[in-house]
Amino acid sequence: MKILVTGTPGVGKTTVAKQLAKNLGYQYINVAEFAIERGFTLRFDKTLKTHIVDVEKLKKALGKTLKEMDKVVLDTHLVDAIPSDCVDFVIVLRLHPRELESRLRARNYPKQKVMENVEAEILDYVLVRAVKKLGEDLIYELDTTGKTTANLVNEIMEALKKGKRKCGTIDWINVLEREGLIEKYLVSKNQ
Ligand SMILES: Nc1ncnc2c1ncn2[C@@H]1O[C@H](COP(=O)(O)OP(=O)(O)O)[C@@H](O)[C@H]1O
Ligand SMILES: [Mg+2]
């Protein structure tokens, strides 16, 4: 079984994926580290303070590496770098945009990077990429807001055991509207 843990940066992928790998006795691969170690980066974006990855090269190398492996948990927001025949189960972690904003600020991300990621979370960006590239049938979407790592890992183990799938159940736009926060994130940004 090859498991992908994905979601917008800051949702808790690395925390959950490492614990899940530990519980299952699986290997853990952080795809960003894998890319940097092998030199699959094109340049470093100074404004966004991030490596720009050569997705095609990374995808090829991951395909080769994953062919030789079985029990593995992959951790990345770069869904496009995952060969579609190399994963059996895809967990898309979600987080309330306000909590995501506060986590990314705490990480000292540049303001633009915080807002881009919050917007991506609101607009289901990673989920949409995952559906398109890997298929809805593999996806278990999970709202992590207010849940502990132990709880999340238990829920994932349960979903794995029972072959549960879930997709398209989270609507942050609706939630933000109800909470009176929609203008803060989607309108006032450029005013
Ligand atoms: N379930 C959780 N509840 C509260 N904070 C969490 C939880 N999971 C992760 N965090 C915190 O959120 C931040 C981002 O988590 P991380 O696992 O690095 O996310 P990602 O790998 O998706 O960028 C870290 O400071 C981490 O300690
Ligand atoms: Mg991470």
Q: Quick one: which atom of ligand 1 is closest to the CA of 11? A: 22
pTM of the shown model: 0.96
> Per the structure, how many domains does the chain have?
1
* CATH for 180: 3.40.50.300
**How close is the Cα of 15 to the center of ligand 2, in Å?**
7
- Counting ligands in written order, which one lies closest to the CA of residue 18? 1
Q: Whose CA is nearest to atom 11 of ligand 1?
A: 12
Containing structural domain, residue 151: 2-190
Residue bearing the bigger pLDDT, 189 or 56: 56
Q: Whose CA is nearest to atom 8 of ligand 1?
A: 12
Residue 191 has pLDDT above 90, yes or no: no
Q: Where are the beta strands (DSSP E) in the chain?
A: 2-6, 27-30, 41-45, 50-53, 72-75, 89-94, 139-143
Element (H, E) at 13: helix 13-24
